Amino acid sequence: MRVAIIGAGVIGLSSALCIQEQFHGLVPSLELEVYADRFTPHTTSDGAAGLWQPYLSDHGNLQETLWNKETFDYLLGHMHSPASKEMGLFLISGYNLFTEPVPDPSWKNIVLGFRNLTPKELELFPGYSYGWFNTALMLEGRSYLPWLTNRLTQRGVKFFHKKVESFQELFSQGVDVVLNCSGMRAGDLQPDPELQPGRGQIIKVLAPWVKHFIITHNLKSGIYNSPYVIPGSEFTVLGGIYQHGNWSEENSAKDHKSVWDSCCRLLPALQEAKIVDEWSGLRPARPSVRLERESIRLGNRQAEVIHNYGHGGFGITIHWGCAMAAARLLGSILQEKKQLATPPGPRL
Amino acid sequence: MASPKVAVVGAGLIGLSTALCITETCPSCSVTVLSDQFSPNTTSDVAAGMLIPHTYPDTPIPRQKQWFKETFAYLLAISNSAEASEAGIHLVSGWQVFKSTPKEELPFWSDVVLGFRAMSEAELLKFPQHQFGQAFTTLKCDCPPYLLWLEKRLKAAGTQMYTRKVADLWELHSEYDAVVNCTGMGAHQLVGDKQLFPVRGQVLKVHAPWVKQFIRDGDGLTYIYPGIHRVTLGGTREKGSWSLCPDAGTTRDIFDRCCSLEPSLQGAQDIEVKVGLRPSRQCIRVQREVLSQGGVKLPVVHNYGHGAGGFSVHRGTASEAAHLVGECISALQGSSSRAKL
């Protein structure tokens, strides 16, 4: 039973790991293979700051809120393990700032210590009159992806550095199930007009005195189009760009200035921060995550694809919930193909 | 008296901040700092510099609160300015956890720090040995940066600084019109204050940049304070111990206690061990005195005995001491104009 995962970002690798953990004992013939043209540190996930935080509103998509919660709880459970440092996982507190009162987010009870900001705290951020404080998690892609890769390699998962041109390509080689975790480039494998780039540009600086994340919101300009500052274990990420439909992965001088000026206005101390890098990436944005099975007729065979893409700017936030959902879909497929006598284990 | 000459003895946090306050409140004064040690070799350099007040048994709470409020406001303004990184001042959030619920759930300073509240059940799950906790945001002054920043401000104000061991305050009477005693633990010998006693503290300064939150056990013995480049792990409170030698067994013990609060510290690197003697007293001595010998007088202002709470109240006591220096100078000017009559 060969299962091929397309994509080696956070979605592809975590899906692979989740599947490996769930099924390795139950399906002795299971062979997992990861195909990607980009590996860490060159994936979209590597550019993300790594802060666990969903968008402000789930637009009634309770499924995604549940997946976010499953991810947070899973990561929190790893906080006391010695692996947390290697995973790039740590607790961090911070601020969400608004120019007007807003309803509480869907994730207020998922994070720790969620509360409104006090007047004294708001004085620190002129121009903002409302906000939240909470403790969340950071999961840094540049540590988490290598950690996932090591775990997968140890468990015999094979990696192939190649750009897969079609699902058929893999099926004709004898792959039984394909997990499509191709993120921004899913459209190359199967057209999806709902999948659009949400271009972001970030500046990486050295500002080790910054211990909180600060995310501002401009309800008119939309998510991530307002300055944000996210301190990592080594660098601090300055951002605030979200350009829907822009496919450019080149850094723009105009965006640089916008990010730099707005972040320095937010945190004057940043003026002394040393810039070490700049990066542009494309958030694989979609009205909702595509996480579903698709049966493809190939001659006299029925080939199965599990799609798991379109996580926008919240891939790290939602990844494990989606990985488990993808694993459940694989479980159904395996059952149908009589590879599994009964569904695996307790309710996933 | 055109330019009163003031000597500040001591170049730790208290000496430098007091000297700076004097230059601000008495611009005509000529201020000189004299000390046998400067940063990075002062007691202040060992401390983490967290703004979490120590309660002095013999000082009225309102006075301690005023000192803390003034210090907090002063540092908050710096932390929010372009000078923050140079001055080493930054905000940090975290938790103070208690193995059993304390008698006083709301400390006197709870409305001075930011966002103070009790920890939620979910947050306490991270600390299975602890029943109760407080979450808040406060400030941290990293040393040496903060002391070096104070020295820079002093130099800009025309203050001279000299390495000199002052064995007796009286030796300064011919060169200076007033003396400020900010000698911390040194006051034990310098002015023979037997109410002053050392409380030895050993700390570890480690590289663990993923630690963004402080964690402090309410007993004051175990704490994790993330600074700009290093995390301070503590500690000990050994009353009466004068030893400045790091103890290996204590290092192991501090590390174990901190790892039980924050297991990821097992991965900490570059462990540096430091020892400081907290200059402890039942109350901080901020007081005017006039020394006299053979008809010659020397006004002295004392500002020492901050023990475990120096950073939290330093600006408040510095401005009080500077005010007392102002009174000394006025008294001298009053008597010198009387002398002219």
Which chain A residues touch B80 with a CB distance below 8 Å?
A: 124, 268-269
Q: At what angle do helices A141-154 and A10-23 cross, to 10 degrees?
A: 30
Q: How many domains does one find in chain A?
A: 1
Under a CB-based contact definition with an 8 Å cutoff, are residues B279 and B306 in contact?
yes
Q: Could you give phi then psi for residue A113, rounded to 5 degrees?
A: 65, 30
pLDDT tens per residue across span B312-325: 999 999 999 999 99
Q: Could you give phi then psi for residue A254, rounded to 5 degrees?
A: -65, -45
pTM > 0.90: yes
Q: Is residue B132 part of a domain?
A: no
Q: Which of B81, B114, B212 sits opposite A120 (nearest CB)?
A: B114
Average pLDDT, chain A: 95
Average pLDDT, chain B: 96
pLDDT tens per residue across span A256-297: 999 999 999 999 999 999 999 999 999 999 999 999 999 998
Under a CB-based contact definition with an 8 Å cutoff, are residues A271 and B82 in contact?
yes
pLDDT tens per residue across span B137-188: 999 999 999 999 999 999 999 999 999 999 999 999 999 999 999 999 999 9
Q: What is the pLDDT of residue A341?
A: 56
CB contact under 8 A, A209 and B84: yes
Under a CB-based contact definition with an 8 Å cutoff, are residues A159 and A165 in contact?
no
Q: Could you give phi then psi for residue B243, rounded to 5 degrees?
A: -75, 125
B126 touches chain A (CB under 8 A): yes
Q: How many domains does one find in chain B?
A: 1
Which of the residues B95, B121, B137, B214 would you substitute to probe the A interface, choosing the one with the greatest number of A C-beta atoms within 10 Å? B137
The 8-class DSSP code of residue A167 comes to: H
3-state helix, strand, coil in chain A (%, to 5): 30, 30, 40
Residue A136, both tokens: 């969340």
Q: What is the pLDDT of residue A60?
A: 84
Q: Distance (Å, rounded) from C-alpha A37 to C-alpha B124?
A: 44
Is B223 among the annotated ligand-binding positions?
yes
Please state whether the peptide bond connecting residue B235 to the residue before it is cis, i.e. omega within 30 degrees of 0. yes
Q: Is residue B253 part of a domain?
A: no
> Which 3 state secondary structure label does DSSP give A228?
strand
Q: How confident is the model at residue B77 (pLDDT cuts 50, 70, 90)?
A: very high
State what percent of residues in chain B have pLDDT above 70. Answer: 98
Q: Does residue A25 have a pLDDT over 90? A: no
Residue A109, both tokens: 């009870």
Q: Does residue B341 have a pLDDT over 60? A: no
Q: Is residue A174 part of a domain?
A: yes
Beta carbons within 8 Å of B192's beta carbon, 6+ residues apart: none
> Which 3 state secondary structure label does DSSP give A124?
coil
Q: Distance (Å, rounded) from C-alpha A240 to C-alpha A313?
A: 12
Q: Is residue B229 part of a domain?
A: no
**How far is CA B114 from each of CA A135, A265, B138, B235, B317, rounded to the nearest angstrom?**
15, 21, 6, 25, 22
Q: Is residue A33 part of a domain?
A: yes
B79 touches chain A (CB under 8 A): yes
Q: Distance (Å, rounded) from C-alpha B43 to C-alpha A310?
A: 55
B186 touches chain A (CB under 8 A): no
**What average pLDDT does the segment B101-116 reach?**
96
Which DSSP string do the residues of B220-236 spell out, in sequence order? SS-EEEE-SS-EEEE--
Q: What is the pLDDT of residue A347?
A: 53
Q: Is residue B265 part of a domain?
A: no
**What average pLDDT does the segment A190-199 reach?**
98
Q: Distance (Å, rounded) from C-alpha A53 to C-alpha A339?
A: 37
**How far is CA B185 from each of CA A165, B181, B202, B291, rounded to the nearest angstrom?**
74, 11, 16, 20
A78 touches chain B (CB under 8 A): no
**How far is CA A143 from each of CA A9, A50, A77, A140, rounded to the nearest angstrom?**
12, 10, 18, 6
> Which 3 state secondary structure label does DSSP give A323?
helix
A293 lies in which domain range? 1-50+140-193+288-347
Q: How confident is the model at residue B336 (pLDDT cuts 50, 70, 90)?
A: low
Q: Is residue A5 part of a domain?
A: yes
Q: Which of B80, B90, B210 sits opposite A268 (nearest CB)?
A: B80
Q: Distance (Å, rounded) from C-alpha B16 to C-alpha B87?
A: 13
Across B249-259, b (16+ Cβ under 10 Å) vs e yields: ebbeebbebbb
B286 lies in which domain range? 5-94+141-196+281-335
How many angstroms from the chain centroid is the CA of residue B135? 23
Q: Is residue B289 part of a domain?
A: yes
Q: Is residue A132 part of a domain?
A: no
Q: Is residue A83 part of a domain?
A: no
Under a CB-based contact definition with an 8 Å cutoff, are residues A184 and A284 in contact?
yes
Q: Is residue B123 part of a domain?
A: no
B212 touches chain A (CB under 8 A): yes
Phi-psi region of B22 (alpha: psi -120 to 50; beta: other; left: phi over 0): alpha
Q: Distance (Å, rounded) from C-alpha B14 to C-alpha A276?
A: 37
Closest alpha carbon to A230 in A139, A98, A315, A147: A139
Q: Is residue A60 part of a domain?
A: no
Closest alpha carbon to B177 in B55, B302, B36, B296: B296
Residue A181 is part of a domain; what is its CATH number?
Answer: 3.40.50.720
A85 touches chain B (CB under 8 A): yes
B86 to chain A: nearest residue by CA? Answer: A272
pLDDT tens per residue across span B274-310: 999 999 999 999 999 999 998 999 999 999 999 999 9
A210 touches chain B (CB under 8 A): yes
Q: What is the pLDDT of residue B152?
A: 98
Residue B167 is part of a domain; what is its CATH number?
Answer: 3.40.50.720
Find residue B41's DSSP bridge partners: none
How many angstroms from the chain centroid is the CA of residue B87? 15
State what percent of residues in chain B have pLDDT above 90. Answer: 95
Q: Distance (Å, rounded) from C-alpha B235 to C-alpha A54?
A: 38
- DSSP H helices, chain B, are 13-25, 43-46, 61-79, 84-87, 121-124, 145-156, 187-190, 248-261, 310-340
Q: How confident is the model at residue B113 (pLDDT cuts 50, 70, 90)?
A: very high
CA angle at B176 for the pair B170 and B181, rounded to the nearest 5°: 60
**HSE on the CB side for A152, CA within 13 Å?**
25
Q: Is residue B110 part of a domain?
A: no
State what percent of residues in chain A have pLDDT above 70. Answer: 97
**What average pLDDT does the segment B90-114 reach?**
96
Under a CB-based contact definition with an 8 Å cutoff, are residues B290 and B298 in contact?
yes
Beta carbons within 8 Å of A308's beta carbon, 6+ residues apart: A11, A15, A179, A180, A181, A289, A290, A291, A322, A323, A325, A326
Please state whether the peptide bond connecting residue B40 to the residue before it is cis, i.e. omega within 30 degrees of 0. yes
Q: Is residue B233 part of a domain?
A: no
| Strand A158-161 relative to strand A31-36, pairing | parallel
pLDDT tens per residue across span A235-261: 999 999 999 999 999 999 999 999 999
Q: Is residue A199 part of a domain?
A: no
Which of the residues B140, B228, B264, B265 would you substitute to probe the A interface, choosing the one with the greatest number of A C-beta atoms within 10 Å? B264
Is B230 among the annotated ligand-binding positions?
no
Q: What is the pLDDT of residue B340?
A: 52
Q: Distance (Å, rounded) from C-alpha A200 to C-alpha A280?
A: 6
pLDDT tens per residue across span A219-235: 998 888 999 999 999 99
Which of the residues A121, A209, A229, A265 would you substitute to probe the B interface, choosing the one with the greatest number of B C-beta atoms within 10 Å? A209
A274 to chain B: nearest residue by CA? Answer: B85
Which chain A residues touch B84 with a CB distance below 8 Å?
A: 209, 268-269, 272
Which chain A residues touch B142 with a CB distance below 8 Å?
A: 209
**What average pLDDT does the segment B184-209 reach?**
97
Residue B297, both tokens: 């007088």
